[in-house]
Amino acid sequence: MKKLLETNNLSKTYTQTQGFFSRIKTSIHALDNVSFSINEGTTMAVVGESGSGKSTLAKSLVRLVQLDQGSVTFDGNDLLNLEGESLKSVRKDIQMIFQDPYASLNPRLNILQIMEEPLVIHNLYNADKRQKKIEDFIKRVGLKVSDLKKYPHQFSGGQRQRIGIARALILEPKLVICDEPVSALDVSVQAQILKLLKDLQKEFGLTYLFITHDLRIVRHVADDVMVMRYGKLVEQGKTDIIFKKPKNQYTKDLIQSIPGLISTRN
């Protein structure tokens, strides 16, 4: 199988000053020598608690965070040293789905404009083809063509997340980074979105980097898992193996904490 993404020793340190005038600095290792790779067409889950560095990792892969050290090879390109046009064309291939469907859509644009924007930025297709493409994708995520005229506030959380997915996929990316895409949703809606993501993966041959803190979801979507804590990669491997035979103590604790597995009364 072909490796789509390969990273080597990613590191990022945030420095904080204590108080406004203080000269004392503390540094936080958000990423500490993280190396991993994702095969094409598979799903890699990143698990960790808040502050473990999983979102910094996602942001660094779309170059929203400048890394201190490390290298990323994406589809044969040295991602961290790309600039200008070549960066733009690679950006098209890596899209992101965000956690909060309420905050990630511009309230002043209607759905048509929201979905058209990425196509305009990347200067793809002519007007007719764009319209057709948008209609295709909005139907594919389970909404109607008549919804295109509506604004984000007219949709529920689950529908907004579908719009976010359609916007990400309309560029036909190779890698989709999903940053907690279902943690703000009800279980019933969560199941719909997870199924949609799975179906789309099959249809378009997508590769997912799936960030979540819910291990039950990992078991459902991921082929491989990496467990992070304090910016370090503590364990990585095939999902089934990690769940059945976790080696690291922290991974064991995480699995122990899954609600429904422990019985507090025993």
Partner 1 sequence: MKKNILKINKLSINTKVNNEIFLVDNISFSVEEGKTTCIVGESGSGKSLTALSIIRLLSPQLKMTGEILFNNNDICKMSDSEIRQKRGLDIAMIFQEPMTSLNPVLTIGYQIKEAIAVHSVLQKKEIENRVKELLLLVGIPVERVNSYPDELSGGQRQRVMIAMAMSCNPKLLIADEPTTALDVTVQAQILKLLDDLKNKLNMSMLFITHDFGVVEDIADDVIVMFKGKIVERGDVKQVLNKPKHPYTKALLGCVPDALGRKQLTPIDYVKLDKAIQRL
Q: Which is nearer to partner 1, 15 or 50 (CB)?
A: 50
DSSP letter for each residue of 31-52 = EEEEEEEEETT-EEEEE--TTS
Where on the chain is the footprint of partner 1 (CB under 8 A)? 49-50, 186-188, 190-192, 194-195, 213-217, 219-220, 243, 253-265
Q: How far is CA 25 from the centre of its chain?
A: 31
Q: Which is nearer to partner 1, 114 or 217 (CB)?
A: 217
Q: Tell me the closest approach of the beta carbon of residue 262 to partner 1, in angstroms.
A: 6
Q: Tell me the closest approach of the beta carbon of residue 102 to partner 1, in angstroms.
A: 13
Buried b (16+ CB within 10 A) or exposed e, 90-108: bbebbbbbbbbbeebbeee
Q: Which is nearer to partner 1, 54 or 133 (CB)?
A: 54
Q: Tell me the closest approach of the beta carbon of residue 125 to partner 1, in angstroms.
A: 32
Q: Which is nearer to partner 1, 136 or 186 (CB)?
A: 186
Strands (E), the chain: 3-17, 25-39, 43-47, 69-74, 77-78, 94-97, 175-179, 207-212, 224-229, 232-238
Q: Which is nearer to partner 1, 78 or 199 (CB)?
A: 199
Q: Tell me the closest approach of the beta carbon of residue 194 to partner 1, in angstroms.
A: 6
Q: Tell me the closest approach of the beta carbon of residue 232 to partner 1, in angstroms.
A: 16
Q: Which is nearer to partner 1, 27 or 188 (CB)?
A: 188
Q: Tell me the closest approach of the beta carbon of residue 92 to partner 1, in angstroms.
A: 30
In angstroms, what CA-CA distances link 234 with 75, 95, 111, 242, 246?
26, 26, 41, 12, 11
HEC string for 229-258: ECCEEEEEEEHHHHHHCCCCHHHHHHHHCC
